[in-house]
Chain A
Amino acid sequence: QQQVKQSPQSLIVQKGGISIINCAYENTAFDYFPWYQQFPGKGPALLIAIRPDVSEKKEGRFTISFNKSAKQFSLHIMDSQPGDSATYFCAAHHPGANNLFFGTGTRLTVIP
Protein backbone atom coordinates (compact mmCIF):
# COMPACT_ATOMS: atom_id res chain seq x y z
CA GLN A 1 0.00 0.00 0.00
CA GLN A 2 1.47 3.30 -1.09
CA GLN A 3 1.52 5.57 1.95
CA VAL A 4 2.24 8.69 -0.07
CA LYS A 5 0.68 9.15 -3.49
CA GLN A 6 2.46 11.47 -5.93
CA SER A 7 1.35 12.92 -9.24
CA PRO A 8 2.00 13.47 -12.05
CA GLN A 9 4.46 10.74 -12.96
CA SER A 10 6.08 13.04 -15.50
CA LEU A 11 5.84 16.71 -16.26
CA ILE A 12 7.06 18.87 -19.12
CA VAL A 13 7.22 22.62 -18.55
CA GLN A 14 8.47 25.47 -20.65
CA LYS A 15 11.36 27.53 -19.34
CA GLY A 16 10.02 30.28 -17.12
CA GLY A 17 6.83 28.41 -16.34
CA ILE A 18 5.55 27.03 -13.05
CA SER A 19 6.02 23.35 -12.23
CA ILE A 20 3.52 21.86 -9.79
CA ILE A 21 3.84 18.42 -8.22
CA ASN A 22 1.22 17.06 -5.86
CA CYS A 23 1.29 14.54 -3.04
CA ALA A 24 -1.38 13.08 -0.80
CA TYR A 25 -1.23 10.97 2.34
CA GLU A 26 -3.62 9.21 4.69
CA ASN A 27 -1.70 8.73 7.92
CA THR A 28 -2.26 11.74 10.17
CA ALA A 29 0.66 10.66 12.33
CA PHE A 30 3.11 11.96 9.73
CA ASP A 31 4.92 14.96 11.20
CA TYR A 32 7.39 16.18 8.59
CA PHE A 33 7.18 16.45 4.81
CA PRO A 34 10.41 16.90 2.82
CA TRP A 35 10.89 17.15 -0.91
CA TYR A 36 13.98 15.69 -2.54
CA GLN A 37 15.52 16.39 -5.94
CA GLN A 38 17.43 13.63 -7.67
CA PHE A 39 19.57 13.84 -10.79
CA PRO A 40 20.37 10.67 -12.76
CA GLY A 41 23.03 8.57 -11.07
CA LYS A 42 23.05 10.73 -7.94
CA GLY A 43 21.56 10.48 -4.49
CA PRO A 44 18.49 12.53 -3.54
CA ALA A 45 19.20 16.02 -2.26
CA LEU A 46 16.94 17.72 0.26
CA LEU A 47 15.21 20.63 -1.45
CA ILE A 48 12.70 21.99 1.04
CA ALA A 49 10.60 20.63 3.88
CA ILE A 50 7.55 21.58 5.90
CA ARG A 51 5.82 20.62 9.13
CA PRO A 52 2.02 20.30 9.39
CA ASP A 53 1.60 23.38 11.56
CA VAL A 54 2.58 25.59 8.62
CA SER A 55 0.49 26.06 5.46
CA GLU A 56 3.23 27.35 3.20
CA LYS A 57 6.99 27.56 3.06
CA LYS A 58 9.04 29.35 0.45
CA GLU A 59 12.73 29.08 -0.30
CA GLY A 60 13.83 30.96 -3.37
CA ARG A 61 11.91 29.62 -6.38
CA PHE A 62 10.60 26.62 -4.44
CA THR A 63 7.39 26.71 -2.43
CA ILE A 64 5.59 23.99 -0.50
CA SER A 65 1.87 24.40 0.01
CA PHE A 66 0.40 22.24 2.76
CA ASN A 67 -3.29 21.49 3.30
CA LYS A 68 -3.62 19.60 6.56
CA SER A 69 -7.39 19.05 6.36
CA ALA A 70 -7.13 17.62 2.84
CA LYS A 71 -3.94 15.70 3.69
CA GLN A 72 -2.25 17.05 0.62
CA PHE A 73 0.92 18.97 -0.08
CA SER A 74 2.49 20.27 -3.23
CA LEU A 75 5.75 21.62 -4.58
CA HIS A 76 5.71 24.68 -6.79
CA ILE A 77 8.79 25.60 -8.80
CA MET A 78 8.54 29.15 -10.06
CA ASP A 79 10.42 30.37 -13.14
CA SER A 80 11.39 26.78 -13.99
CA GLN A 81 14.81 26.40 -15.60
CA PRO A 82 16.34 23.59 -17.69
CA GLY A 83 18.68 22.93 -14.77
CA ASP A 84 15.62 21.99 -12.70
CA SER A 85 15.10 18.94 -14.93
CA ALA A 86 15.31 16.06 -12.48
CA THR A 87 13.16 13.59 -10.59
CA TYR A 88 11.37 14.97 -7.55
CA PHE A 89 10.24 12.86 -4.63
CA CYS A 90 7.90 13.90 -1.87
CA ALA A 91 8.13 12.09 1.42
CA ALA A 92 6.43 11.89 4.78
CA HIS A 93 8.07 11.12 8.11
CA HIS A 94 6.47 8.82 10.64
CA PRO A 95 7.72 9.69 14.13
CA GLY A 96 7.06 6.27 15.64
CA ALA A 97 8.88 4.28 13.00
CA ASN A 98 11.33 7.12 12.29
CA ASN A 99 10.94 6.24 8.62
CA LEU A 100 10.44 8.29 5.51
CA PHE A 101 7.68 7.12 3.20
CA PHE A 102 8.41 8.23 -0.35
CA GLY A 103 6.14 9.06 -3.22
CA THR A 104 6.71 7.37 -6.56
CA GLY A 105 8.54 10.35 -8.03
CA THR A 106 7.90 12.91 -10.75
CA ARG A 107 10.23 13.29 -13.67
CA LEU A 108 10.36 16.97 -14.55
CA THR A 109 11.63 18.16 -17.90
CA VAL A 110 12.01 21.88 -18.48
CA ILE A 111 12.35 22.71 -22.14
CA PRO A 112 14.13 25.86 -23.29
Chain B
Amino acid sequence: GAVVSQHPSWVICKSGTSVKIECRSLDFQATTMFWYRQFPKQSLMLMATSNEGSKATYEQGVEKDKFLINHASLTLSTLTVTSAHPEDSSFYICSAQSGITDTQYFGPGTRLTVL
Protein backbone atom coordinates (compact mmCIF):
# COMPACT_ATOMS: atom_id res chain seq x y z
CA GLY B 1 0.00 0.00 0.00
CA ALA B 2 0.83 3.74 0.09
CA VAL B 3 1.90 4.07 -3.53
CA VAL B 4 2.47 7.46 -5.08
CA SER B 5 3.03 7.88 -8.80
CA GLN B 6 4.37 10.78 -10.83
CA HIS B 7 4.05 11.54 -14.49
CA PRO B 8 6.08 12.09 -16.51
CA SER B 9 9.21 10.47 -15.12
CA TRP B 10 11.34 12.75 -17.25
CA VAL B 11 10.70 15.68 -19.55
CA ILE B 12 12.83 17.84 -21.80
CA CYS B 13 11.45 21.18 -22.90
CA LYS B 14 12.54 24.38 -24.55
CA SER B 15 13.14 27.54 -22.60
CA GLY B 16 9.98 29.59 -22.23
CA THR B 17 7.53 26.71 -22.35
CA SER B 18 5.41 25.41 -19.48
CA VAL B 19 5.55 21.90 -18.08
CA LYS B 20 2.95 20.11 -15.96
CA ILE B 21 3.87 17.31 -13.57
CA GLU B 22 1.20 15.08 -12.06
CA CYS B 23 1.34 13.40 -8.67
CA ARG B 24 -1.20 10.72 -7.76
CA SER B 25 -1.80 8.71 -4.62
CA LEU B 26 -2.91 5.34 -5.98
CA ASP B 27 -4.27 3.52 -2.94
CA PHE B 28 -5.08 6.14 -0.37
CA GLN B 29 -6.62 9.56 -0.11
CA ALA B 30 -4.05 12.30 0.32
CA THR B 31 -5.37 15.26 2.24
CA THR B 32 -1.98 16.90 1.95
CA MET B 33 0.59 16.74 -0.80
CA PHE B 34 4.05 18.21 -0.85
CA TRP B 35 6.35 19.25 -3.67
CA TYR B 36 10.10 19.06 -3.32
CA ARG B 37 13.03 19.95 -5.47
CA GLN B 38 16.33 18.10 -5.31
CA PHE B 39 19.63 19.12 -6.85
CA PRO B 40 22.33 16.49 -7.53
CA LYS B 41 23.84 15.06 -4.37
CA GLN B 42 21.77 17.36 -2.18
CA SER B 43 18.91 16.96 0.21
CA LEU B 44 15.26 17.56 -0.54
CA MET B 45 14.08 21.15 -0.54
CA LEU B 46 10.42 21.69 0.23
CA MET B 47 8.80 23.99 -2.31
CA ALA B 48 5.18 23.99 -1.24
CA THR B 49 2.46 22.22 0.68
CA SER B 50 -1.02 21.77 -0.72
CA ASN B 51 -4.22 20.67 0.94
CA GLU B 52 -7.08 19.38 -1.15
CA GLY B 53 -9.35 22.19 -2.24
CA SER B 54 -7.14 24.93 -0.80
CA LYS B 55 -4.45 27.19 -2.14
CA ALA B 56 -0.92 25.90 -1.78
CA THR B 57 1.42 27.28 0.85
CA TYR B 58 4.78 28.12 -0.63
CA GLU B 59 8.11 28.12 1.15
CA GLN B 60 10.09 31.31 1.37
CA GLY B 61 11.90 32.05 -1.86
CA VAL B 62 9.68 29.90 -4.07
CA GLU B 63 7.85 31.91 -6.72
CA LYS B 64 4.20 30.96 -6.59
CA ASP B 65 3.51 32.47 -10.02
CA LYS B 66 6.23 30.35 -11.55
CA PHE B 67 5.43 27.08 -9.79
CA LEU B 68 1.66 26.66 -9.96
CA ILE B 69 0.25 23.97 -7.74
CA ASN B 70 -3.24 22.56 -7.95
CA HIS B 71 -4.64 19.94 -5.56
CA ALA B 72 -8.04 19.41 -7.09
CA SER B 73 -8.84 16.02 -5.62
CA LEU B 74 -7.78 13.73 -2.79
CA THR B 75 -5.66 11.69 -5.19
CA LEU B 76 -4.18 14.23 -7.58
CA SER B 77 -1.91 17.24 -7.32
CA THR B 78 -0.20 18.99 -10.21
CA LEU B 79 2.85 21.21 -10.41
CA THR B 80 3.15 23.46 -13.44
CA VAL B 81 6.48 25.10 -14.10
CA THR B 82 5.59 28.16 -16.13
CA SER B 83 7.97 29.81 -18.61
CA ALA B 84 10.67 27.32 -17.73
CA HIS B 85 14.32 28.33 -17.93
CA PRO B 86 17.51 26.26 -17.74
CA GLU B 87 17.92 27.11 -14.05
CA ASP B 88 14.62 25.32 -13.39
CA SER B 89 16.21 22.05 -14.50
CA SER B 90 16.06 19.76 -11.50
CA PHE B 91 14.56 16.62 -9.98
CA TYR B 92 11.04 17.32 -8.74
CA ILE B 93 9.52 14.94 -6.22
CA CYS B 94 6.06 14.92 -4.72
CA SER B 95 4.91 13.24 -1.54
CA ALA B 96 1.47 12.47 -0.19
CA GLN B 97 0.12 12.25 3.31
CA SER B 98 -3.22 10.86 4.40
CA GLY B 99 -5.21 12.56 7.09
CA ILE B 100 -4.74 9.59 9.41
CA THR B 101 -0.97 9.61 9.73
CA ASP B 102 1.86 12.10 9.41
CA THR B 103 3.88 9.73 7.25
CA GLN B 104 4.83 11.10 3.85
CA TYR B 105 5.06 8.69 0.93
CA PHE B 106 7.13 9.87 -1.98
CA GLY B 107 6.66 9.55 -5.69
CA PRO B 108 9.44 8.34 -7.99
CA GLY B 109 10.34 11.86 -9.09
CA THR B 110 10.37 13.77 -12.37
CA ARG B 111 13.58 14.83 -14.05
CA LEU B 112 13.05 18.18 -15.79
CA THR B 113 15.62 19.41 -18.27
CA VAL B 114 15.11 22.84 -19.82
CA LEU B 115 17.15 23.54 -22.93
Contact = CB atoms under 8 A, between A and B. Distances in A.
Given A43-B93, A44-B44, A102-B43, A36 B106 contact: yes
A43 B109 contact: yes
Contacts of A45: 106
A4 to B, nearest CB: 9
Contacts of B109: 41-43
A12 interface: no
B111 A32 contact: no
Contacts of A105: 41-43
A89 B44 contact: yes
Interface residues on B, range: 20 to 34
A76 B108 CA distance: 25
A31 B41 CA distance: 27
Interface stretch (B12-20, B60-68, B71-79, B97-105): B97-105
A43 to B, nearest CB: 4
Binding site secondary structure of chain A: strand
B45 to A, nearest CB: 9
B54 to A, nearest CB: 13
Given A36-B106, A43-B107, A46-B105, A98 B43 contact: no
B43 A95 contact: no
A43 B6 CA distance: 10
Nearest to A100: B104
A34 interface: yes
Given A44-B106, A89-B43, A98 B93 contact: no
Contacts of B108: 42-43
B34 to A, nearest CB: 8
Residue among B34, B43, B46, B108 with the most chain A CB within 10 A?
Answer: B43
Interface of B: 2, 4, 6, 32, 34, 41-44, 46, 49, 91, 93, 95, 97, 102-109, 111
A-B pairs, 4 with minimum CB distance: A43-B106, A43-B109, A43-B108, A44-B106
